[in-house]
Chains A and B, each alone.
Chain A
Amino acid sequence: MSILTKILVVLLSIFSILLCGMIVTFVGNTNNYKAGLENEKHTTSVLQADNATKTELFNAQVKKTEELQKKYDTDLQAIEGERNNLMADLRTAQRLAQQYQAQSDSWKGVLGGFEQSVRNLQASLSQTQQQLDQARAQGIKDQKDLNQITADLYEKIVQVQSMEAERRRLLEQKTELEKQIASSPTRTAAVQPVTPLRGAAVPAQPSGAGMDIKGLVVGVDRNMATLSVGSADGVKEGTVLHVTRGDRFLCDVVVTNVDINQSAGVLELVQQAPQSGDTVSTQL
């Protein structure tokens, strides 16, 4: 065997072993593409089935979504209409509120004017009340003065009447004395006047002043009042009695009819309507 043959044998052996090793290594590391293909086919079928299921679900969801969208559109239109109605109501309410506010402002002004008028009227009323009180006090004072003057006048009249009677008695006595002197100049009898001697004139008791008459109101009929005092108590026609309740002045009663134990009169200067049981007196 020549050297070249030996070299070729050795190289052939080495390359054969290397090539076989490479082939074995390559084949051993090669993937199983068929199994991979089957797996991919299976995976593809599964994915397709899943895709079909998802597609059905997607279609169902799309239908459901469309139905919901239609429903929501309908509801939205209804809500839109309701919103328009509410906006119209709101505008109406705002307009009414503005009108009411304007009315309120005008009424506020009117009320302010009324309050000012009421204050003025109250001030005028209080002033009038004061004037009325002063006039009433002046009236009561004048009435007392009048009663005093009337009593003095009655006293003077009685004195005049008494003096007139005394004058007539003296004239009669003078006439009788002259007759006796003419008939028997030596002997004179006792002179007997025709008019009996009444005695000296005394001042009459004042009708109201100085004598306090107290009684009660028995009954009230409109502007007439019946009193529990009469002529036995010194009440005369024209006597003015003051009706009081506690410390409050109610009215005056001018007596028009007098009986022994009761009298009746007309109400004057009425501040408050009298009632049965109220006190009457000639002095406050």
Chain B
Amino acid sequence: MAKRTINPDSDIYTALLALACLAVVAATVFVAFKSMNYYGTDAIWKILQVR
């Protein structure tokens, strides 16, 4: 089986996707932390229960 050649450009795009995912995760964590800090833990569960 011939070894599949990987274009070096794919790593770049993967890194871009990973950076985008990291940014999303970081934003989610930041929003969650901020919400917990502002309204407490129960507020998040209440919001989830309402939805």
Contact = CB atoms under 8 A, between A and B. Distances in A.
Interface of A: 1, 5-6, 9-10, 12-13, 16-17, 19-21, 23-24, 27-28, 30, 32-35
Given A9-B17, A27-B34, 15 more contacts: A1-B13, A6-B9, A9-B16, A12-B17, A13-B17, A20-B23, A23-B31, A24-B27, A24-B30, A27-B30, A27-B31, A30-B38, A33-B38, A34-B43, A35-B38
Nearest to A5: B13
Chain B contact residues, majority secondary structure = helix
Contact of A13 (B20, B27, B39): B20
Contacts of B23: 16-17, 20-21
B19 A1 contact: no
How many residues of B sit at the interface, in one of the four size bands?
Answer: 10 to 19
A23 B13 contact: no
Given A1-B7, A1-B10, A34-B39, A16 B20 contact: yes
B46 to A, nearest CB: 12
B43 to A, nearest CB: 8
Contacts of A33: 38
B10 A17 contact: no
Contacts of B44: none
Interface in B17-31: 17, 19-21, 23-24, 26-27, 30-31
